[in-house]
Amino acid sequence: MPLVANPVLTTRNPATGAEVGRVPITPPDALGAVVERARGAQATWGETPWTVRRRALDRFRRIVSRDARKWANWIRDEIGKPAVEAMAGDVVPTLDALRWTVKRAGPALADERIGPSWQRWQLMPAGRLRWRPYGVVGIIGTWNYPLFLNAAPIAQALAAGNAVVWKPSEWAVGAGERLQRSLEEAEFPAGLVQAVQGGGEVGRALVESNIDKAVFTGGVETGRRVLSTLGARGIPAVVELSGFDPAIVLPDAPLAETARAILWAAFVGCGQTCVAVKRVYVVGDPDPWIATFAELIQSLKVGDPADPGIDVGPMISEQARDRFEGLIRSAVEAGARVVVGGERLERPGSFHAPTLLEADSPDPERALEGVFGPVLLARGVADVEEAIAAANQGAMALAASVWGRDRRAARRVARRVQAGMVCVNEAVTPAASASAPFGGFRASGYGRTHGKLGLREFVAPQVAFERRAGGVRPHLFPYGDGALVGKFLKLYRRVFHPRRIKGG
């Protein structure tokens, strides 16, 4: 755990141990008052015209853009990523997501007319579909993309007219504090968006508070506890609970180019990425692929991301490394063979060698499921059918990829893979799309973030019908002798000429 002393939470650079962030812990019993303050601000914000909300969101976007280079260095030092990864995978996607929200949220949340169409024969009135904010949204933040995975949903919740109370991860309190300062600089109404700091106890207090919807990103076990608490009170949620992502390599996939792409998708962010490739199914002989993966892994430079030329940084903490090592041991005990890596690096910081495992059966995969760190497991399969079955095995279904020259063939395979995002000759990068909805199936969670569907997670649909006062209405009392039953059916059949059904 980060160091907790009295009411202070501290984070340290996972490569050097230097202090990076220090914040006061929010008392859990203060959450009720925080949420009620947010609710008071939301009452006005929810009725504020979109043009006004848009200006505040655009100010927020420009503030993040102004500090973009600083953000890359802050993320490098607190999370342990190379600055290029922080910029390309966290900062720029955040700016793009904020730009999408500023430009697209207004039209996406505009009222829609629902005409009676053929139902006018039933004297059905016209209606309007409106999108109403939930009220107060509680967000439990994550650490591995501390800007993108927090700023984007906060912005969409605010764009939709909600207030936000959010808890940064205890592993990224410095990033959380800076993000909250940026939101305050953007001059949103007082109390509308508030950060609370702390560990699991503060997170539980937020989930148990009087919020109207929740967003949680994190591990499966914690996510299930959160959902259980929310479900008991009927509070809806969007949850993203990580993945165990497969890559299917078809026989015609170009070896060198595909291996490099998969390797990057496996070890970007030190493998601490929810959509990182974790298991590879090679249709045919796996030996050339395993040899190429091993050669590429051995060329990676592991170290302090502040040093030049570093490809892979540390894991977020020693505790995370310990859990990772335990899963690697379990996979080996289940029959996996360590080809490269497989051990921690004996140096200051929470470093672990990028690891390649080879398997001959599904048993090691089952032992490794849910792993979050720098590992890639490869297995040869006899044919495409076996590869699809292997990819669809297990509880998680967040993202997947298929690789091959014949894109039509690869596309046919991709259609049969069960995952919230499926790529052909691509992986990881599309998860940052500002327009595409992102989320998983089964144990990987439900609900979506990003794009129009993600935005609409923060509003409840409301349909409003109306007609002229004193106008004609159907079905009024008294019903009389029941003759209306036959008249309605006769009218319907006359208008739509349905085919006669024998015995009808």
- CA-based max dimension of the chain: 90
Give strand pairing partners of 21. Answer: 11
> Residue 468's pLDDT is what?
83
Closest Cα partner for 417 from 434, 449, 441?
441
DSSP-derived pairing of the beta strands 112-114 and 127-133: antiparallel
Q: Is 143 helix (H, G, I), strand (E, B) or coil?
A: coil
User: For domain 25-241+450-460, is the CATH number 1.10.1740.10?
Assistant: no
User: Does residue 298 have a pLDDT over 80?
Assistant: yes
| Token digits of residue 351 | 């470093």
Q: Cβ–Cβ contacts within 10 Å for residue 142, how many?
A: 21
Structural tokens at position 27:
């008392």
Pairing of strands 355-359, 375-381: parallel
β-strand 3-5 against 8-12: which pairing, if any?
antiparallel
- Residue 210 in tokens: 């009087």
Whether the predicted pLDDT of 475 surpasses 80? no
Topology of the domain comprising 245-435? Aldehyde Dehydrogenase; Chain A, domain 2 (3.40.309)
Mean pLDDT of 122-146: 94
Q: What is residue 504's predicted lDDT score, i.e. its pLDDT?
A: 46
Domain ranges in the chain are 25-241+450-460, 245-435
Does residue 120 have a pLDDT over 80?
A: no
Average pLDDT over residues 305-328: 97
Distances (CA, A) of 253 to 267, 402, 413: 20, 9, 13
Write the DSSP assignment of 5-26 as a string of letters. ETTEEEEE-TTT--EEEEEEPP
Q: Is the pLDDT of residue 485 over 70?
A: yes
Higher pLDDT, 118 or 422: 422
**What is the pLDDT of the chain when averaged over all its residues?**
94
Q: Tell me the three state secondary structure of residue 240.
A: strand
For residues 32-36, give the mean pLDDT.
Answer: 97
What mean pLDDT do residues 241-253 have? 96
- CA–chain centroid gap for 88, Å, is 17
**Among 195, 109, 94, CA closest to 146:** 94
Q: What are phi and psi of 171, to 5 degrees?
A: -95, 0
